[in-house]
Amino acid sequence: MRAEPLPTSPPSVSPPSAEGRAPARGRGPGSPPPGIERAGVEPVPVDRRHGRPRSLFTLWFGANVQFATLSVGALSTSVFGLDLLPAVFAIALGTVLSAVMVGLLSTRGPLTGVLQLIQTRGPFGRLGALPSAAFTVVNGVGWCVVDTLLGMFILRDLTGLGFAPALLLMAAAQLTVAVLGYRMIHAVERGLALALVVVFAVVSVYGFGEAHATAPTDPSGGPVTAFVLVTAVTAARGLGWSAYASDYSRYLPATARPRRVFLAAGGGSALAGLWIGALGAAIGTVAAVDNPSTMVSGLLPHVLGTVVLGALLLSTLASTVIDLYSGAMAALAAGFALPRWVSVLVVGGLGTVLSWYAGHGDFAARLQDFLLMTGYWLAPWGAVLVTAYWWRERGLHDTARLYDSRHRFGWGLPSVLIALLAEIPFMNQSLYTGPLAAAHPAVGPFGLLVGFAVSAAAYTRAELARATLYTSTEPCAMCSGAVYWSGIGRVVYALGEDELLALTGADEEAFLSAAIDLAARSRKEGNHPFGSLLVLDGTAVLEAGNTVTTGRDATGHAETNLVRLATAAYTRAELARATLYTSTEPCAMCSGAVYWSGIGRVVYALGEDELLALTGADEENPTMALPCRTVFASGQRPVEVSGPHLHDRAAAVHAGFWTGAGA
């Protein structure tokens, strides 16, 4: 990290205008048709921000109250063989983990007004973010294929259409909504949210009513393996949304509270995901997931089943348009010079073509493979973003850097690649099985967690290695060790250790002089000539003198009096940082008081042996020949001691006192 002023609006940092062209009020040759969203990858201007965080609740609730969520939930019991109750717990865990990610990333939208993938450029760099953009396109196309196939299942059951007509009809409906853009998507999700609640409430009555407590098949790797696998697959389904999270919150005003954005986006995802996922698990105990539409309609009376399938078709449409919209935005973020609406058509067309080829085969097995494969990338990718924006750059929202052509690479991509290597032994699906997963199937699903942890650790270490710690004073031995083990790569300090020692030496003399002055004051007040001062973080905070005579208390020594005041006023942690300055080395009693108080350091002027030479056998002060260092060394915690200092001045306060001249 270099300490340098941010450039003031450099030409290379200026965000591009809408669709890569200069903004214009009228329609130009390259303008989209009326009603189609114009915005591309540029930040949303403040004057175009609108809406409230609660709109995210209906968006993400509607996006998760859909057929794909039901189908993934059904895998838990019908394919993985987990009994209903543990399946629901596993689905809940996976749903919450992914919903937290969606909620966190959504909070960045109002703060920056920027697409999720453009924000990826922060920790990844402009070129380093290209693989993330490519993955998001693939992810969008993949989910388009999944939802298109689910929609086709329904269309064929409802209308009897053939494969090709059903495919084309689904594609046309999906592309129409996605092309119209952000406002239309929010309107569709808002309109469907209430209707789908009613529909799935009806399905819940039949689904939960007919459900069995046990799964129709035994878990191949045991119940623990099945539980972890269901958690991983469920989390992977929800993590798929995180790649788009701020795309749908970037239009909110910058004043939108992050907490409300998090609760709305994460809450909508979690509530819908848990409900529909658990419903899918219940239905999976009584019906096969080979044909998802008949899995549902088989539970219902014919007319009701037709209505429900129609609603499920709409929910599938609503889900697909989100994937198409953000997949198209990812293509723009990757640098393709296309209008957004054209990019939607390209991505949707690719998804339609792939749906043609993927429409035959084992739907459940392919869905499981797709979920795990996307999760292997999304978990490390999400870990980098969370580490970057909620630790490394917490509270910073520098959008100019996201468009800086000089910021080509960051440590995000290497961290993700390291995590992918760490995930390989855990991979467990039909395309590839890692050695660790092959030998111990139960640990395979932990690959996503391993990827998240490794990526976060790698990014943290890499960022610390290029970080600089600026400090006013050269670090002490303890702090230097902490810096070394943290991985921080560079330290810059202003004041050297030797220079500090010279300065603190002057402070030591001033504080000791103040303690000696307190001793002189105690003598004038009719007490023995001793005084003490407590210094905390460089400031004198308490003082005390001797009160043996006036207080008629043989234990009223200056240090003991000061300890009583200190322990009543400060915590033990604060006293550990404090220094007690005293005109004379503490006696055994006062040393014990200092030890038990927790005070960390003692500095004295006149030594105990020097005081003995002055007092002799005076009955007023039968000095014990027991140095305070010996007392402290007998304890279980260290107390730093410095002294004697300022002998002549400290001894002068006692002149004539012990012979009766000062009485």
Give the span between the Cα atoms of 274 and 88, in whole angstroms.
Answer: 8
Beta partners for 536? 539
Q: Rounded to whole angstroms, what are the CA distances from 295 to 314, 315, 656?
A: 17, 16, 105
Residue type, 362: D
Whether the Cβ atoms of residue 449 and residue 460 lie closer than 8 Å to each other: no
Cβ–Cβ under 8 Å, residues 144 and 358: no
Helices (H), 334-442: 340-358, 363-387, 399-402, 412-423, 435-439
The number of residues making up the chain comes to: 663
Helix boundaries (H) for 160-301? 163-180, 182-210, 223-242, 258-284, 292-297
Q: Of the candidates 313, 239, 296, 246, which has an alpha carbon nearest to the alpha carbon of residue 269?
A: 239
User: Cβ of 563: how many Cβ atoms within 10 Å?
Assistant: 27
Of 521, 452, 537, the closest CA to residue 236 belongs to 452
DSSP state of 12: G
Take residue 361 and report the two structure tokens written for it. 């085969």
Beta bridge partners of 640: 601
Q: Which residues are catalytic?
A: 559
- Taking a C-beta distance cutoff of 8 angstroms, is the pair 474, 496 a contact? yes
Q: Please, which residues bridge with residue 540 across strands?
A: 535
For the chain, report the end-to-end CA distance as a whole number of angstroms. 67
Give the position of tokens 């005081």: 611
Sorted by sequence, the CB contacts under 8 Å of residue 329 that are 6+ apart come out as: 40, 41, 115, 117, 244, 247, 340, 343
Residues forming beta bridges with residue 630, ordered by sequence position: none
Residue from 55, 52, 48 nearest 17 by CA: 48
Torsion angles phi and psi, residue 490, rounded to 5: -150, 140
Residue type, 318: A
What is the DSSP code string of 290-358?
Answer: SSHHHHHHTTS-HHHHHHHHHHHHHHHHHHHHHHHHHHHHHHHHTT----HHHHHHHHHHHHHHHHHHH
Contact between 156 and 140 under an 8 Å Cβ cutoff? The reply is no
Torsion of CA 340, 342, 344, 347, to 10 degrees: -130
- Six-digit token string for 189: 């999700």
